[in-house]
Amino acid sequence: MTVQRLLTASAIIFATSMSASYAGPCSQEIDLTQAKIDARLETRAAAGPSATETTGATLHHQPTPNSIAAAEGQLGDLPAERVTALFAAMGRAREADHTGDQNACEQALSEVRSILGE
């Protein structure tokens, strides 16, 4: 499985894990930010090298954000720490949004923008 396919699967997982019926104080901003992250990762994955499919990939398990970050780091395409930090900050933003904590959500999204260099 190529890195691009792993990233696409990751985007699908994130999209389906979000509750469509709940709209917190910064749900729209989270969605826009996730779309930016996905677009950047897919662009980098398409431009970079690919790796051979691992045994774990053949077991029909969905990739985790950490496994995708590790694969990216091994290819030298995108630092694994940066991808992991993005996913962690987005997780904090979603959690804060779910609990209605707009300040925490905005702080987490600010961290994401900082990691992205925006």
What rounded mean pLDDT belongs to the chain?
77
Q: Is the pLDDT of residue 24 over 60?
A: yes
Which of these, 72, 15, 85, lies nearest to 45 by C-alpha position? 72
Total domain count for the chain?
1
pLDDT tens for each residue of 37-51? 888 877 877 776 666
| 59, part of any domain | yes
Across 101-114, b (16+ Cβ under 10 Å) vs e yields beebbbebbebbee
Q: Are 117 and 86 in contact (CB under 8 A)?
A: no
| 35, part of any domain | yes
Q: Is the pLDDT of residue 78 over 70?
A: no
Residue 118: per-residue pLDDT: 81
| 71, part of any domain | yes
- As a whole number, mean pLDDT of residues 71-97 equals 78
| 22, part of any domain | no
| 23, part of any domain | no
Long-range contacts from 46-52, C-beta under 8 angstroms, 24+ separation: 46/4, 48/3, 48/75, 48/77, 48/78, 49/75, 49/76, 49/77, 50/2, 50/3, 50/4, 50/75, 51/2, 51/3, 51/75
| 20, part of any domain | no
- Tell me which residue range forms the domain holding 62: 3-15+28-116
Q: Is the pLDDT of residue 97 over 90?
A: yes
Q: Is the pLDDT of residue 109 over 60?
A: yes
Residue 111: per-residue pLDDT: 95
| 99, part of any domain | yes
